[in-house]
Amino acid sequence: MRYQGREVDIEGRVRLVMESALTARDRVGVQDFVLLENYTSEAAFIENLRRRFRENLVYTYIGSVLVSVNPYKDLEIYSKQQMERYTGVCFYDIAPHIYALSDNAYRALRTQRKDQCILISGESGAGKTEACKKILLYYTITCPTNDDFAAIGGRLLQSNPVLEAFGNAKTLRNDNSSRFGKYMDVQFDFKGAPVGAHILDYLLEKSRVVHQNHGERNFHIFYQLLDGGDDNLLNTLDLQRNPQNYQYLVKGNCPRLSSVSDKNNWKVVVKALSVIGFTEKEVENLLNIIAGVLHLGNVQFGEGEAGETYITTEAQMSNLAKLLGVDGLALREALTHRKLTANAEEIISPLNFEQAESVRDALAKAVYGRTFTWLVQKINELLAPKDILNYNRKSCCVIGLLDVYGFEVLHHNSFEQFCINYCNEKLHQLFIDLTLKSEQEDYEIEGITWEMVKYFDNKIICDLIEEKHKGIISILDEECLGPGETWDASFLEKLEDTLSDHPHFVTQKSANGKTRRVMSREEFRLLHYAGEVNYDVNGFLDKNRDMLNWNLKEVMCQSDNPILRHSFSTGEGIYHKGPGMVATKFKNDLKKLVEILKSKQPSYVRCIKPNDAKQPERFDEVLVRHQVKYLGLVETVRVRRAGFAYRRTFEAFLQRYKPLCPETWPNWHGSLEDGVSILVNHLGYKPEEYKLGRSKIFIRFHKTLFITEDALEAKRPDMALALQTSWRGYRERSKYQRIRHAVIVIQSAWRGMKARRRAKRRRHAAELIRRFIKGFIYRHEEYCAENKYFLDHIRYSFLKNLRKNLPETVLDKSWPMAPPLLAEASDHLRRLHMRNMVRKYCRRVQPEWKKQMVHKVVASELFKDQKDSYPQSVGRLFLDSRLEQEQISLKVIQTLGNDKVQYGVPVIKYDRRGFKPRPRQLLLTNTFAVLVERTKIKQRIDYAALTGISLSSLSDGMVVLHLPSDDVKQKGDVVLHCNHVIELVTKLSMMATKVNYVNISPGSIKFTVARGKQGIIDFVRGSELKVSKGKRGHLLVTAPRIDNT
Confidence of residue 342 (pLDDT cuts 50, 70, 90): low
pLDDT (mean) for 613-637: 85
Least confident of 12-21, 219-228, 237-246, 378-387: 12-21
DSSP for 807-866? --STT----PPPPGGGHHHHHHHHHHHHHHHHHHHHHH--HHHHHHHHHHHHHHHHHTTT
Task: Looking at mean pLDDT, say which of 144-148, 359-363, 510-514 comes out highest.
Answer: 359-363
- pLDDT for res 809: 86
d(CA 361, CA 817): 106
Pairing outcome for strands 65-69 and 601-608: parallel
Residue 248 DSSP SS3: helix
Q: Give the mean model confidence (pLDDT) for residues 946-968.
A: 88
Residue 664 clears pLDDT 80, i.e. is over it:
yes
- Mind listing the pLDDT tens digit for each residue in 89-109? 767 667 899 999 999 888 888
As a whole number, mean pLDDT of residues 852-856 equals 88
- In this predicted structure, the answer to whether residue 643 has a pLDDT above a threshold of 70 is no
Q: Please tell me which of 264-268, 340-344, 693-697 the model is most confident about, judged by mean pLDDT.
A: 264-268
pLDDT at 13 over 50: no
Q: What share of the chain is helix, strand, coil (3-state, %, to 5)?
A: 50, 15, 35
Environment class of 720 (CB within 10 Å of its CB; exposed 0-12, middle 13-18, buried 19+)? exposed
Going from the C-alpha of 524 to that of each of 133, 417, 423, 461, 515, the distances in angstroms are 37, 13, 18, 14, 11
SS3 of 897, please? coil
At CB < 8 A and 24+ separation, what contacts does 214-217 make?
A: 214/252, 214/253, 214/254, 215/172, 215/252, 215/253, 215/254, 216/169, 216/170, 216/171, 216/172, 216/252, 216/254, 217/169, 217/170, 217/249, 217/252, 217/254, 217/255, 217/257
CB 666 within 8 A of CB 687: no
Residue 148 has pLDDT above 70, yes or no: no
Handedness of CA 745, 750, 752, 753 (dihedral sign): positive
Task: Give the C-alpha separation, 448 to 693, whole Å.
Answer: 6
Whether residue 945 contacts residue 970, with contact meaning beta carbons closer than 8 Å, is answered with: yes
- Distance CA(859)–CA(600), nearest Å, equals 97
* pLDDT value at 845 more than 90: no
For the chain, helix (H) and strand (E) counts, in that order, are 34, 33
Cα dihedral value 300, 303, 308, 312, nearest 10: -40
State the pLDDT at residue 708. 81
Taking 70 as the threshold, does the pLDDT of residue 574 lie above it? Answer: no
Beta partners for residue 919, in sequence order? 908
pLDDT at 4: 35
For 656-668, what is the mean pLDDT?
83
**Which residues are CB-contacts of 909 (< 8 A; sequence separation ≥ 6)?**
917, 918, 919, 920, 931, 974, 975, 976
Instruction: Verify cis geometry, omega within 30 degrees of 0, for the bond prior to 186.
Output: no
pLDDT at 412 over 70: yes
Give the model's pLDDT for residue 705. Answer: 75
- Averaged over 447-472, what is the pLDDT? 79
H/E stretch holding 168 reads strand 168-169
Q: How many residues does the chain have?
A: 1045
Higher pLDDT, 14 or 25: 25
Residue 449 has a pLDDT of 72
Surface-to-core class of residue 14, CB atoms within 10 Å of its CB (0-12 exposed, 13-18 middle, 19+ buried): buried
CA 994 to chain centre: 74
pLDDT at position 952, please?
93
Burial 19-39 (b: 16+ CB within 10 A, else e): bebbeebeebbbbbbbbbeeb
Q: Does residue 259 register a pLDDT over 80? A: no
Residue 635, pLDDT > 70, answer yes
pLDDT at 452: 62
Span 879-908, pLDDT tens digits: 989 999 888 999 998 988 888 999 999 999
What confidence score (pLDDT) does residue 749 get?
95
pLDDT tier, 1011 (very low <50, low <70, confident <90, very high otherwise)? low
Mean pLDDT of the chain: 84
SS3 483: coil
Question: pLDDT digit string (tens) for 271-324?
Answer: 999 988 899 999 999 999 999 999 999 999 888 777 778 888 888 888 889 999
3-state SS assignment for residue 511: coil
Per DSSP, the three-state class of 199 is strand
The pLDDT confidence band at residue 573, using thresholds 50, 70 and 90, is: very low
Instruction: Give the Cα separation of 352 and 360 in Å (integer).
Output: 12
Q: Is the pLDDT of residue 16 over 60?
A: no
Check if the beta carbon of residue 95 is closer than 8 Å to that of residue 21. yes
pLDDT number for residue 831? 92
Q: Which of 40-54, 106-120, 137-151, 418-432 has the lowest mean pLDDT?
A: 137-151
Percent of residues, the chain, with pLDDT higher than 70 = 91
Please state the rounded mean pLDDT for residues 3-27: 39
User: Annotated active-site positions, please?
Assistant: 124-125, 129, 174, 177-178, 406, 408
Asked if 415 and 543 touch (Cβ cutoff 8 Å), the reply is yes
